[in-house]
């Protein structure tokens, strides 16, 4: 990274590509290959001595590549760019956000361990932590946005967590969790802290600055940005990343070269996309707040001094992001009519793409969480999660307006 300019927007354009090694190509070429030819028998022996045997490389030594499940040139470029964005030493890319989370959980947690996690989290992450890891004997303890370090100690009831996981702002409620509390409790117990930074992206929030150990992403969302790949990423210090890299090739959660190439390309436009999407979202949130058929709107631009989450938001984020969650007055019937009346905005899961989409967390992303828990978290049948895209804001407002009329 030494020769790369400091600002991640700059390093995202040219970082990791050496034209001299790539036939002079200005763009990063795609190495769509599963295997690599060794220069010599000695080079093959040395490669596995380092990768499987754990031998250290000499200063300046490059061992190259052997097999794309282990590592590949396109992965390294995407990883350098993500590490730069997250202000971390290194990063890894995976074939989905879920693969990234699962690899981290499997690396850190063992039977009998405890994990503290914010709630709500994306339903898939909840099912990994409580379901899959639960089956391996891990106890998951949830915490809310207002919990202090003392509250967390009370919830732990004498246990010591190995991992503290936070998703902030939370999917789908936009609840803001204070990273200082997360880092505080993790450090007190020597636990690894992990922040899912999918919603704000590093454009608006860089959790490593606040002491978080590992920053995780569903790169399917803003990092990929065009709803055309599924990918994941984890960034952090080398000493934590290296054991995760090893587990990644052991369990095969590695991203494909093509996925990493797409991600590399998308990172070049991350900032312009997220800034424009955020501007659109702020206008839409304002419009929805004043609409008589909308009973509740959650977007970080609407937070005011004294509101829950305001202080943490000001401390740890530089912008409100492009996720708006709102409730349509009424219940299932009204919200279904609203969805079916939309003409520009589409009804689809996922988020972070160039297009504006809406989904119903109750019926989709959070359907696997017990109903009473969803209600307690503020997720109702009438709750709409909107990922705001790059369209003209006036068109989006017109579409919401006509669909709300019919709701
Ligand atoms: C906040 C968040 N984290 C993680 C994930 C899981 O990522 P993926 O779908 O890429 O596996 C999602 C997916 O919606 C998400 O919204």
Closest CA to ligand 1's atom 15: 122
Asked if pLDDT for residue 185 goes beyond 80, the answer is yes
Instruction: With H, G, I as helix, E, B as strand and everything else as coil, classify residue 349.
Output: coil
Hey, what CATH topology would domain 270-406 get?
A: 3.90.1150
The band of 1, judged by pLDDT with boundaries at 50, 70 and 90, is: very low
218 Cα: distance to centroid of ligand 1 (angstroms): 5
Render pLDDT for 229-256 as a digit per residue (tens, 0 to 9): 999 999 999 999 999 999 999 999 999 9
Q: State the pLDDT at residue 354.
A: 98
pLDDT, position 15 = 83
The residue ranges of every structural domain in the chain are 68-262, 270-406
Q: What is the CATH number of domain 68-262?
A: 3.40.640.10
The beta-strand segments (E) located in 221-260 are: 232-236
pLDDT (0 to 100) of residue 5: 61
Q: Whose CA is nearest to atom 14 of ligand 1?
A: 350
Confidence category of residue 17, pLDDT binned at 50, 70, 90: confident
Q: Residue 157 burial by CB count (10 A; 0-12/13-18/19+): exposed, middle or buried?
A: exposed
- Residue 50 is given by DSSP the state H
Give me ligand 1 centre to Cα 97, in Å: 5
Percent of the chain at pLDDT > 70 equals 99
| pLDDT score at 23 | 94
Q: Which long-range contacts (CB under 8 A, 24 or more apart) does 360-365 make?
A: 360/335, 360/384, 360/385, 361/123, 361/171, 361/172, 361/325, 361/385, 365/122, 365/123, 365/124, 365/171, 365/172
Tokens at 179, concatenated: 């990273």
Best residue among 93, 104, 125 to mutate for probing ligand 1, ranked by most atoms within 8 Å of CB: 125
Phi/psi at 206 (nearest 5 deg)?
A: -125, 90
State pTM to two decimals. Answer: 0.97
Distance 232 CA to ligand 1 centre (A): 8
| SS3 annotation, 85-134 | HHCCCEEEEECCHHHHHHHHHHHHCCCCCEEEEECCCCHHHHHHHHHHHH
| Residue 299 confidence (pLDDT) | 98
The owner of tokens 């895209």 is 389
Instruction: Calculate the average pLDDT of the chain.
Output: 96
pLDDT digits (tens, 9 = 90+) for 347-400: 999 999 999 999 999 999 899 889 999 999 999 999 999 999 999 999 999 999
CA of 129 to the centre of ligand 1 (A): 14
Residues with CB under 6 A from ligand 1: 96-98, 122, 124-125, 167, 171, 196, 198-199, 218, 220, 230, 232, 350, 365
In angstroms, what is the span from residue 351 Cα to ligand 1's centroid? 9
pLDDT at 286: 98
Give residue 148 CA to ligand 1 midpoint distance, Å. 26
Two structure tokens written together for 96: 């989905």
């Amino acid at each position: 990274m030494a020769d790369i300019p400091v600002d991640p927007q700059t390093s995202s354009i040219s970082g990791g590509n050496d034209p001299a090694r790539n036939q002079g190509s200005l763009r990063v070429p795609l190495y769509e290959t599963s295997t690599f030819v060794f220069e010599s028998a000695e080079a093959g022996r040395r490669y596995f001595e380092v990768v499987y045997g754990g031998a250290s490389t000499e200063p300046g030594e490059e061992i190259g590549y052997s097999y794309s499940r282990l590592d590949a040139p396109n992965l390294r470029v995407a990883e350098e760019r993500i590490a730069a964005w997250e202000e971390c030493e290194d990063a890894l890319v995976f074939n989905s956000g879920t693969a990234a989370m699962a690899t981290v959980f499997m690396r850190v947690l063992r039977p009998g361990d405890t994990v503290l996690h914010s709630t709500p989290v994306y339903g898939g992450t909840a099912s990994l932590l409580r379901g899959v890891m639960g089956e391996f004997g891990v106890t998951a303890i949830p915490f809310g946005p207002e919990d202090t370090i003392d509250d967390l100690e009370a919830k732990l009831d004498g246990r010591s967590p190995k991992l503290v996981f936070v998703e902030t702002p939370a999917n789908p409620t936009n609840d803001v969790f204070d990273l200082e509390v997360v880092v505080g409790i993790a450090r007190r117990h020597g636990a690894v802290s992990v922040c899912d930074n999918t919603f704000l992206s590093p454009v608006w929030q860089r959790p490593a600055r606040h002491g978080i150990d590992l920053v995780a992403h569903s790169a399917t969302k803003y990092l990929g940005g065009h709803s055309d790949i599924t990918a994941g990423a984890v960034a952090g210090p080398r000493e934590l990343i290296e054991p995760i890299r090893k587990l990644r090739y052991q369990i095969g959660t590695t991203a494909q070269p093509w996925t990493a190439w797409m991600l590399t390309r998308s990172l070049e436009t991350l900032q312009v996309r997220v800034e424009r999407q955020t501007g659109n979202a702020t206008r839409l949130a304002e419009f929805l707040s004043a609409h008589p058929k909308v009973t509740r709107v959650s977007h970080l631009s609407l937070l005011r001094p004294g509101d829950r989450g305001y202080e943490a938001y000001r401390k740890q984020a530089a912008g409100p992001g492009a996720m708006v969650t709102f409730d349509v007055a009424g219940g299932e019937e009204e919200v279904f009519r609203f969805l079916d009346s939309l003409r520009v905005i589409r009804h689809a899961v996922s988020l972070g793409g160039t297009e504006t989409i809406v989904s119903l967390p109750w019926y989709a992303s959070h359907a696997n969480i017990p109903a009473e828990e969803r209600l307690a978290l503020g997720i109702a049948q009438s709750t709409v999660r909107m990922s705001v895209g790059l369209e003209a804001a006036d068109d989006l407002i017109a579409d919401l307006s006509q669909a709300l009329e019919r709701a």
